[in-house]
Structure 1
Amino acid sequence: MGLRGPGAKAIKKPADPLIEATSEPHPWEAEGLSRAERVIAFMESLPVTSGALAGTTFRVRPWQRRFLKAVYATDRRGRRQVRTAVLSMARKNGKTDVAARLALCHIAGPEAEERGEVYSAANDRFQAGRIFSEICAIIDRVPWLTERISIRRHSKELEDIGGTGTVFAALSADVATKHGLSPSMWIYDELGQSPSRDLYDTLDTAMGARGEPLGVVISTQAARDDAPMSELVDYGVRVNAGEVKDASFHLTFYTAPAEADPWERATWKAANPALGDFRSLEDVQRLAGQAQRMPSREASFRNLILNQRVDATQQFITAPVWMACGAPVDLASLKGRPCHAGLDLAASRDLTALVLVFEDDDGAFDAVPFFWLPDDDLREREDVDRVPYVRWRDEGFLQTMPGKTTDPEVVARKIAELHGIFGFTALAYDRWRIEDMRRELAAIGADVPLVEWGQGFKDMSPAIDVLERLAVEAKLRHGMHPVLTWCAGNAKTTADPAGNRKLDKRKSTGRIDGLQALAMALGAANRHEVQEAWSPMVDVI
């Protein structure tokens, strides 16, 4: 009910003729319904207030039903296990509508509890008001809700004064005072666009006083790996894959596969479950056409319409270019071909990368990477970097060593072994910790041709140019090694005023050590070819 001030009387609102007042039991009060079925019945009792379907009663789609059944599933005691639910899909697939109905379900529907607190969260005041406005539009059209719920539009608050006493408020990340909350249910709209996790953490950590609290995030993917939404998606993917056991967390994830053709309708459908229903196919076709004609819009199209984690800022190697170079590498066939190597020695607890490149008669290169990490806190590193280090180790893509620091002796012995098999023409290295590596190589009698390779523009710019040219021309084969592919997806460049480039770890979204080592190896190969081409001239002189 609308209140005009302290002690003001309720303002009666015109009822929607679609939803007549009735003394009959509500549909969700029927016997034999599961908890999820009661939620669905409540949502389907409410009207659609806007769009092409305005004036009809809401109908839960099969894909929405699957999400709701997963979230509101109960154990043998009838208790809901899920505490955090994430629904990620492309824009314009009805996220706000679903969020509004779920909030109402916990305010005055079958999930309402005595003196509950329900919140909708967003990144700014305007966005925070969208769910509130949709809830109010529904209340205005449903007589029994009109009689029960007080609306305070100026403060974006509701109160179920005719029932449980549950309160609702719309919160935005730009409002400072949010502590002291005790939410029974909260919904975060478009967390993927939030640069900070402060509001999310405030709500998530405030639920401890409730018996069965629920937090729901409904959002497209974030563009960067280090965003709060990315952490939730990555964790949910691991839960869904069985790598992590956590019955309190659920992820429903609609995204287009990275390798799929972004201009195909089937690809659009993967990220847009409502496509052709209430998500306009014509609109997606329009946006796809613009992205094809204007490459600057492709990253935004992939992020917002295909729900892919794609940063609109300049990425060094795009996913399609990298995947075009993903042909398998036959290690047994490489012996006898010119072999060049690049070594990126990390700090004692970080990722160390060694990449060998083998040139063929057509000027193309096969890349064979090796990676090392300490083994002691590998699972903690997974949580920090949000990648499956344990699985990569178990599948042989990552080498680990006992302890909490990288042992240079382990790396040195592998370098000596590989040099003995393939005979490096050069091993390009950064000065960082190289003296430890020199000492270990000398201790085992390995005579490896080490070539210093600076990490500044002078050495890295030509190496970057070679890597880019080979990738664009599909003259690089890397076999889609998962760790190297992860590094490639993270990498970004920076340029000096003259246009020289280098990989920039500060701008990149994750570890790039593997791509750095690959660039160094290819740079060493290019330098070796130039020196060979000039050597006859030197002899003549």
Structure 2
Amino acid sequence: MAAEVSPDDLPAREGPCVLGVDLGGSRSMSAAAFYWPETGRLEALGTFPATPSLADRGASDGVSDRYCQMQERGELSVMGEATVPPGPWLAQIVKHLSGITPDCIVGDRFRHAEFTEAMQAAGLARVPFIWRGFGWKDGSEDIERFRRALFDGDVKAAPSMLLRFAFSDAITLVDPAGNQKLAKARSLGRIDAAAATVLAVAQGARMKAAPIRKATALWV
């Protein structure tokens, strides 16, 4: 919540945009996070399949009408029947950018085939895709980069129920070597938006830290 600012104080959509994606299954939410590392602006959206309804999902997950409230706020949508179709969903998500093409998309390497098909269906085949794992190796680096960006004030988001509850349901597991990975605090928790956000912000931090290549003169 320390990253939340009023909508009037939200930084502009300037510079490269990183799209972090967490594809869901039949019971899971599909979530996307948009991050502009130059300004720190963060936006997030989630989508559930239509069956069961959002009201029924809220009841079974023990969160009452939370999902219905998120839908009313424009943070959560419904697509598909039993599952969210990756291709049409990704195309819809990109429309949220109002013509901006993401500089890169970051997602789970274990969903390689689904992501490839979804990007082709959404007309994003030319956008670079960066594969990340949710295990100890990639997860630990991404979590640490996300935390650093958050503590340094490099993440700014409008108040979001989706993000608030995603991060309230998220914990990190630590192995004996001190590596961390993202996990649910409770079995019915929905941390998909948190996972997408960590991916997007961590990649944005890597882009900011990358040295700028200076042009060199070519003598002929």
TM-score interval (norm. to shorter):
0.7 to 0.9
Any conservation in 2 of the 1:492–1:508 contact (CA below 8 Å)? no
Establish whether residue 357 from structure 1 lines up as the match of residue 35 from structure 2: yes
Counterpart for residue 99 of structure 2: 421
Query: Where do 1:279-318 residues align within 5 Å?
Result: none
Change (3 A) 1:331 1:435: farther
Q: Which has the higher strand share?
A: 2
Any conservation in 2 of the 1:490–1:508 contact (CA below 8 Å)? no
Question: How many pairs does the alignment contain?
Answer: 212
Counterpart for residue 71 of structure 2: 393
Establish whether residue 340 from structure 1 lines up as the match of residue 13 from structure 2: no
Q: Which has the higher contact order (CA 8 A, sep 6+)?
A: 2
TM-score (structure 2 length as normaliser)? 0.83
Offset of residue 327 of structure 1: 0.6
Any conservation in 1 of the 2:10–2:156 contact (CA below 8 Å)? no
Offset of residue 442 of structure 1: 1.3
Counterpart for residue 59 of structure 2: 383
TM-score (structure 1 length as normaliser)? 0.36
Offset of residue 395 of structure 1: 2.8
Mapped to 2, the partners of 1:474 and 1:509 lie a distance apart of 31
Counterpart for residue 86 of structure 2: 408
Counterpart for residue 143 of structure 2: 464
Query: Where do 1:45-64 residues align within 5 Å?
Result: none
SS, match of residue 504 in structure 1: strand
- Give CA-to-partner distance per residue, 1:126-178, whole Å, 9 cap, x none: xxxxxxxxxxxxxxxxxxxxxxxxxxxxxxxxxxxxxxxxxxxxxxxxxxxxx
SS, match of residue 528 in structure 1: helix
Task: Give the partner amino acid of 1:371.
Answer: G
Counterpart for residue 119 of structure 2: 441
Query: Where do 1:497-512 residues align within 5 Å?
Result: 497-505=176-184, 510-512=189-191
Change (3 A) 1:452 1:420: farther
Offset of residue 414 of structure 1: 2.3
Change (3 A) 1:412 1:534: same
Mapped to 1, the partners of 2:154 and 2:205 lie a distance apart of 14
Counterpart for residue 489 of structure 1: 168
Mapped to 1, the partners of 2:192 and 2:112 lie a distance apart of 15
Offset of residue 381 of structure 1: 0.8
Query: Where do 1:168-187 residues align within 5 Å?
Result: none
Change (3 A) 1:331 1:520: farther
Task: Give the partner amino acid of 1:406.
Answer: V
Query: Where do 1:64-463 residues align within 5 Å?
Result: 323-329=1-7, 334-360=12-38, 365-378=40-53, 379-387=55-63, 388-418=66-96, 421-446=99-124, 447-463=126-142
Task: Give the partner amino acid of 2:171.
Answer: K
Q: Give the unaligned 5+ runs of structure 1.
A: 1-322, 537-541
Q: Percent identity?
A: 26
Q: Give the unaligned 5+ runs of structure 2.
A: 215-220
Counterpart for residue 218 of structure 2: none
Higher-Rg structure is: 1
Offset of residue 420 of structure 1: 7.0
Any conservation in 2 of the 1:416–1:448 contact (CA below 8 Å)? no
- Give CA-to-partner distance per residue, 1:328-387, whole Å, 9 cap, x none: 3469963332211211111133111100111235xxx22100100012312221112223
User: RMSD of the TM alignment (CA)?
Assistant: 2.8
Task: Give the partner amino acid of 2:62.
Answer: R
